[in-house]
């Protein structure tokens, strides 16, 4: 029995929608369900790259604790709505955007004039309501790419324009990440885990993209700590059985046995390795036309095949 730790396999991906999926990872080394599940979940919630609005300026408003003529919501409400706008930002540099709306009506994220570097994923997100037909709203925005959470103090320090109001920014596109660990088995090995990981995103990335980025981040972190040390990994449990199955179906003619030995086996209706390994040494001795030399040759071949 190998003492190496086997690598897991992504056994199944159940896509519930374009923004949610459940990933099933099995079989895992005993106890590794919680080890992997917790680490992947923490990275998903804190470190996946995403876009967010980090600062804004409303024409006619000098600070956040005020109202704007003709707009139903106060500036604080507008701030909260801007934080709900989901963006794909395709550059590492801050991007300046503008939102303009004339006349009465609902102002949504679809009214943001985007550039080639920015996409609005939830255009129906309400930002404000203009209740005066003669009024209009103009909002300048700064969008950025980032990871995790940025406090309002950090956003204030990095403002592109000093007269803008800074926002605390939640860059992560992962809305929910939870996992469950169950026991599983492969053949006689019962001390194995099955990890089910549910991921829901805001639509700026797919669940699979978030899952793979989280795994890649962990790989980079651990690789930097491992130095030059490497550890042998065992085949994924179940993979060996598949390999053995292929070998068991191998024809006797493909074993490169001597013609006399191969013919003796085939004449006794032994046509595959599976037929051969089901026989004891005594069974082989009793085969018609099968002598001691043939027996030694077969035993050497089975040892070579690790049976």
Residue range 17-68, pLDDT digits in tens: 999 999 999 889 889 999 999 999 999 999 999 999 999 999 888 777 888 8
Biggest distance spanned by C-alpha atoms of the chain: 106
Exposure string of 105-119, with b = 16+ CB inside 10 Å and e = fewer, is eebbbebbebeebbe
Same domain, 273 and 300: yes
Q: How many domains does the chain have?
A: 3
Q: pTM for this structure?
A: 0.71
DSSP output for 28-53 = EETTHHHHHHHHHHHHHHH--EEEEE
Residue 163 falls inside a structural domain? no
Q: Residue 216: which region, alpha, beta or left (left: phi > 0; alpha: psi -120 to 50)?
A: alpha
Residue 73 corresponds to which tokens in the numbers above?
């919501």
pLDDT higher at 100 or 280: 100
202 falls within a domain: yes
For residues 178 and 249, which has the higher predicted lDDT (pLDDT)? 178
Say yes or no: 62 and 115 in one domain: yes
Domain containing residue 280: CATH number? 1.10.150.20
Given 184, 199, 234, which residue is the final one in a domain? Answer: 234
Q: Are residues 73 and 110 in the same domain?
A: yes
Bridge partner list, 151: none
Based on the fold, state whether residues 57 and 23 are members of the same structural domain.
no
Query: What residues make up the domain containing 299?
Result: 249-304
The string of pLDDT tens digits covering residues 87-142 is 999 999 999 999 999 989 999 999 999 999 999 999 999 999 998 888 889 999 99
The answer as to whether 155 is a domain residue is: no
Name the nearest CA neighbour of 82 among 169, 154, 193, 172: 169
For residue 141, tell me if it sits in a domain. yes
- 109 shares its domain with 34: no
């Amino acid at each position: 029995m190998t003492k190496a730790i086997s690598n897991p396999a992504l056994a199944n991906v159940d896509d519930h929608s374009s923004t949610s999926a459940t990933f099933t990872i099995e079989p895992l080394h005993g106890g590794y369900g919680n080890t992997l599940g917790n680490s992947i979940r923490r990275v998903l919630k804190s470190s996946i790259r995403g876009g967010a609005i980090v600062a804004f300026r409303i024409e006619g408003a000098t600070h956040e604790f005020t109202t704007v003529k003709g707009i139903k919501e106060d500036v604080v409400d507008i701030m909260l709505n801007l934080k709900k706008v989901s963006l794909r930002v395709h550059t590492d540099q801050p991007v300046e955007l503008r939102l303009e709306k004339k006349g009465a009506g609902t102002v949504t994220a679809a009214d943001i004039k985007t550039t080639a570097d920015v996409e609005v994923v939830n255009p129906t997100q309400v930002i404000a309501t203009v209740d005066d037909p003669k009024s209009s709203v103009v909002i300048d925005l700064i969008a950025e790419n980032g990871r995790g959470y940025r406090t309002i103090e950090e956003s204030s320090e990095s403002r592109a324009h000093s007269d803008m109001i800074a926002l605390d920014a939640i860059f992560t596109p992962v809305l929910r990440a939870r996992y469950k660990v169950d026991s599983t088995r492969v053949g006689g090995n019962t001390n194995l885990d099955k990890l089910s990981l549910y991921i829901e995103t805001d639509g700026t990335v797919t669940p699979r993209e978030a899952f793979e980025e989280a795994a890649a981040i962990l790989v980079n972190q651990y690789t930097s700590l491992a130095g030059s040390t490497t550890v042998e990994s065992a085949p994924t449990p179940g993979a060996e059985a598949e390999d053995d199955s292929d070998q068991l179906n191998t024809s006797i003619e493909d074993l490169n046995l001597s013609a006399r030995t191969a013919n003796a086996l085939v004449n006794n209706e032994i046509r595959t390795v599976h037929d051969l390994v089901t026989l004891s040494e005594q069974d082989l001795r009793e085969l018609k036309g099968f002598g001691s030399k043939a027996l030694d040759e077969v035993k050497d071949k089975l040892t070579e095949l690790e049976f």
